């Protein structure tokens, strides 16, 4: 992995989209929420737009100049302004003494089908190193949305091996940690595609394109990423309800000493109706350990549209605790020693 760019040209901008068509990519039920443009983002967000790495996709939008950073990690097909609650987060950051960070990873937008969790985690490591070097970051919290939850979980492993120059990790928030595999199981095309993808993997063609998805239109999906998303024990398979408690512990247990907040919605359209979200959340909380807390929003959808204020209100005490006065005095990689 190439090191982060040291010299950056910062641009102060107001991000004000005129229209947002938010279609849930790949595993999501398609829904257009243009209300986001006229309601949540009508006034735009102000901040610094910069590069944090050498690739074209390595850009980041930072709202606020405080030295404690909450990093928002999107799911499949996401980019900036990935959920209706982003404007609420920006307001909370402005009033709470922390900054909101919206990066684009190499897997953003149409890149998800040829990306991987490991690639995302390395991009995030590059970002946290950049935040420390260029913005004197004292601590970061990762907020993963949807498949961004898998990225956050993987980052917690990656940073154990390479944390020398990264900003310390103060906590993790997993918003909508839902099984990609269980969602895919309900699609008529999944079984045949998975069989073909697994054969391609055996033939050494894992990086070859299996199909093109229509959300975003034309997204190439390679065999290895489809296997990761759709197969049991695939790399992306972290939150499935059919895992035993022992299996969940093996997937999430390395976060035992990291303050973690699980946020699930009672009306998450991406979770199979047969799954009890509250019960699954309790099992994931147990798998992580005593440092985890569970927040259940009964009316919450996958992106928490309509419950944005409730979510951010629940989130703020956790963020305040993680970014407490002691945060600046504890050395990386973790503010709380990770096992």
Rg (CA), the chain: 19
Q: What is the DSSP string of 73-117?
A: E--TT--SS-STTHHHHHHHHHHHT-EEEEEE-TTSGGGGGG--H
Q: Kindly give, in sequence order, each residue whose CB lies less than 8 Å from that of residue 125, ignoring residues fewer than 6 positions away.
A: 1, 155, 158, 159, 162, 166
Q: How many CB atoms lie within 10 A of CB 126?
A: 24
pTM across the whole model: 0.88
Q: What is the pLDDT of residue 186?
A: 87
Q: Kindly give, in sequence order, each residue whose CB lies less than 8 Å from that of residue 107, ignoring residues fewer than 6 positions away.
A: 114, 115, 116, 119, 120, 123
- The first and second tokens of residue 103, run together, are 């990066």
pLDDT by residue for the chain (339 residues), tens digit each?
Answer: 333 333 344 555 554 443 333 434 444 443 434 444 445 555 688 999 999 999 999 999 999 999 999 999 999 999 999 899 999 999 999 999 999 999 999 999 999 999 999 999 999 999 999 999 999 999 999 999 999 999 999 999 999 877 778 999 999 999 999 999 999 998 999 999 999 999 999 999 999 999 998 777 889 999 999 999 999 999 999 999 999 999 999 999 999 999 999 999 999 999 999 999 999 999 999 999 999 999 999 999 999 999 999 999 999 999 999 998 655 554 555 554 433
């Amino acid at each position: 992995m190439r090191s982060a760019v040291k010299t950056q040209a910062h641009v102060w901008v107001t991000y004000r989209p005129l229209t947002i068509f938010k279609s849930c990519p790949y595993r999501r039920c398609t829904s257009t929420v243009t209300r986001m443009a006229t309601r949540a983002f009508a006034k735009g967000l102000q901040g610094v737009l910069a590069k944090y790495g050498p690739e074209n996709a390595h850009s980041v939008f930072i709202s606020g100049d405080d030295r404690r950073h909450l990093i928002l990690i999107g799911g499949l097909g996401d980019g900036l302004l990935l959920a209706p609650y982003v404007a609420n987060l920006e307001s909370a950051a402005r009033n709470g003494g922390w900054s909101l960070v919206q990066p684009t990873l190499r897997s953003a937008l149409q890149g998800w089908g040829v990306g991987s969790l490991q690639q995302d985690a390395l991009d995030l490591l590059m970002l946290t190193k950049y935040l420390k070097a260029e913005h004197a970051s004292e601590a970061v919290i990762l907020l993963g949305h949807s498949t961004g939850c898998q990225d956050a979980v993987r980052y917690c492993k990656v940073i154990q091996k390479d944390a020398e120059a990264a900003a310390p990790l103060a906590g993790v928030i997993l918003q909508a940690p839902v099984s990609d595999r269980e969602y895919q199981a309900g699609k008529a095309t999944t079984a045949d595609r998975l069989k073909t993808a697994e054969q391609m993997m055996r033939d050494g063609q894992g990086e070859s394109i299996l199909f093109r998805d229509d959300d975003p239109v034309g997204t190439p999906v390679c065999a290895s990423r489809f296997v990761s998303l759709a197969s049991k024990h695939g790399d992306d398979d972290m939150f499935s309800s059919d895992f035993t408690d022992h299996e969940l512990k093996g997937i999430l247990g390395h976060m035992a000493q990291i303050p973690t907040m699980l946020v699930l919605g009672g009306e998450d359209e991406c979770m199979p109706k047969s799954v009890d979200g509250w019960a699954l959340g309790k099992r994931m909380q147990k798998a992580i350990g005593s440092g985890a807390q569970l927040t259940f929003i009964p009316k919450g959808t996958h992106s928490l549209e309509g419950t944005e204020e409730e979510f951010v209100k629940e989130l703020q005490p956790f963020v305040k605790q993680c970014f407490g006065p002691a945060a600046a005095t504890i050395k990386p990689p973790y503010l709380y020693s990770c096992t």
